[in-house]
Amino acid sequence: MKLIVASFVTLAVLLGSAAFGSAAMAADPIRVGAVLPFSGGVELYGQQAKLGLDLAAKEINASGGILGRPLEIIYVDDKTRPASAESAMRSVIDSGVVAVVGPVTSANFNAVRPLAESMKTPLLYATNFEGGKCNRYIFSFNTVPNQDLGQLLPYVNEAVGNTYFMLGADRVWPHQMFDIAKPLIEKLGGTIVGTQYTLGTETDFTPLIKQVAAAKPKVLLFALKGDGMDFIRQADEQGLFKDTTVAFLGLSEIDLGIFKGKGQNMITVVPSLATSDAPEMKAFVAKVRAAAGNDVLVSNYVMTHYNTLIALKAAIEKAGRVDKEAIVDALAGLTIPSPTGAVTIDANHYATMTMFIAKTKGSELVPVRALGAIAPQPGCTMATR
């Protein structure tokens, strides 16, 4: 009889614990907006961001949520257009989100940033960008120029040569990155032998390839994404890369399929590599592929967007309440684990992270050199926002 009573007591305790957990997770969700491109030309990057966000949300909810509340992501397509991004940003903030992740392009970021500031909502930006924007409500989870460009140029200057042709899209990010590159190249003793920007309407790059070849650069500093990526295949087929090496800004695994096997030995700098032998990164890639399919590409955009929600969870738990101002205060100075090592958000809301020099090999990006943790130099301070 005592055994029967004890069994009923144990069962009651277990059922009570389960009911408590279910009740906690049945609480109102903590909503986060995700303003990302799912159409309009750079949707591959939006899909990569979503992989990271979905994985983080799944893990957070499986472990009990945040302060006992489930995490819910509200996705909105910014259509790769600033006006659409602004509309999407306003709609998710009005819906009651505690923070917004995104967008991807610099133009769309510039469109939504004023809304984050005026509506006092944390904006977690996880795409590599030009920096120079410090504000209480803006947080960067990817690289700024000193972390990628500042590591890439010294490497290629020594390993490849010191004459440069700069080729980029006629957009915000390439212009600003090249403006930053000019004094760095000069400081390294290098020479810029040409600069050109594409309009986004080109399909036959032969005239541009001839222009670059005539300048005879050892390094082609490349900042073309989306509609300009076919330059690589055409340039390789026309022999440009026999004497010129591509130093590729913003290259990731998601881009490699566009090249169709061309563009080997291009050099870049990234905050993660899917081909890494590090156990933590191998485990992360395995989790992404278990959720999304064995053939899915896992670029650094997956990891950096994953990190935004890990940081948000840590900030809310540090604050002890779900409040935008408390979240902002808790994010500054926060250190979180990531698949490549600790990520620390500094006082200006930019991230110290581990960086790697990599190159294209076959259909993959492979490591060349681990650079260790690189602190950001954002080009601004919170005091001068």
pLDDT-derived band at 200 (thresholds 50, 70, 90) equals: confident
Question: How buried is 11 (Cβ within 10 angstroms: 0-12 exposed, 13-18 middle, 19+ buried)?
Answer: exposed
Q: Rounded to 5 degrees, what angle do the CA atoms 239, 241, 243 make?
A: 100
Whether residue 330 has pLDDT greater than 90: yes
Sequential DSSP letters for 119-141: TT--EEE-S--------TTEEE-
- pLDDT recorded at residue 229: 82
Under 8 Å between Cβ of 214 and 245: no
* Residue where a domain terminates, one of 249, 268, 301: 249
Indicate if 50 and 138 belong to the same structural domain.
yes
Beta bridge pairs of residue 16: none
Does residue 75 share a domain with residue 61? yes
Same domain? For 316 and 175 the reply is: no
pLDDT, greater one: 42 or 155: 155
Domain that holds residue 206: 149-249
| Residue 102: partners with Cβ closer than 8 Å, 6 or more residues away | 33, 34, 35, 36, 49, 78, 85, 108, 112, 123, 124, 125, 126
Count of the separate structural domains present in the chain: 2
Lowest mean pLDDT among 164-173, 239-248, 305-314: 164-173
Q: Which of 198, 209, 199 lies closest to 233 in space, CA to CA?
A: 209
Same domain, 170 and 195: yes
pLDDT bucket at 11, cuts 50 / 70 / 90: very low
Per-residue confidence (pLDDT) for residue 12, from 0 to 100? 39
Whether residue 75 sits in one domain with residue 157: no
* pLDDT higher at 4 or 186: 186
Residue 15 has pLDDT above 60, yes or no: no
- Mean pLDDT score across all residues of the chain: 92
Does residue 270 belong to any structural domain of this protein? Answer: no
Predicted confidence band of residue 172 (pLDDT cuts 50, 70, 90): confident
Q: Looking at the predicted structure, is the pLDDT value of residue 2 above 60? A: no
Q: Are residues 205 and 295 in the same domain?
A: no
> What pLDDT is recorded for position 63?
98
26, pLDDT greater than 70: no
Q: Is residue 334 part of a domain?
A: yes
Mark which of 249, 267, 298 sits at the end of a domain: 249
- Asked whether the predicted pLDDT for residue 256 surpasses 50, the reply is yes
pLDDT at 323: 98
Q: For the residues 157-184, what does the mean pLDDT come to?
A: 95
Last residue of a domain, one of 249, 266, 287: 249
* Residues 37 and 124 both lie in one domain: yes
Q: Is the predicted pLDDT of residue 196 greater than 70, yes or no?
A: yes
Residue 235 sits at φ, ψ, to 5 deg, of -65, -40
Work out the average pLDDT over 333-337.
97
CATH of the domain at 234: 3.40.50.2300
pLDDT value for 226: 65
Residue 224 or residue 240, greater confidence? 240
Same domain assignment for residues 39 and 127: yes
How much is the pLDDT for 297?
94
Please say if the pLDDT value at position 17 is more than 50.
no
3-state secondary structure of 272: coil
Co-location of 97 and 73 in the same domain: yes
Amino acid letter, residue 141: F
The structure tokens 């980029």 sit at 168
pTM: 0.90
Nearby residues of 58 by Cβ (< 8 Å), 6 or more positions away: 291
Residue 34 DSSP label: E
Q: What is the pLDDT of residue 111?
A: 97
Task: Confirm whether 255 is domain-assigned.
Answer: no
**139 and 283 in a common domain:** yes
Judgement on whether residues 134 and 185 belong to the same structural domain of the protein? no
Amino acid at the residue 283:
A
Residues 128 and 148: beta-carbon distance below 8 Å: yes
Same domain, 103 and 186: no
Give domain status of residue 190, yes or no: yes
Position 116 in a domain = yes
Kindly state the average pLDDT of the residues 95-107: 96
71 has pLDDT over 90: yes
pLDDT of residue 192: 98
At residue 260, the pLDDT reads 87
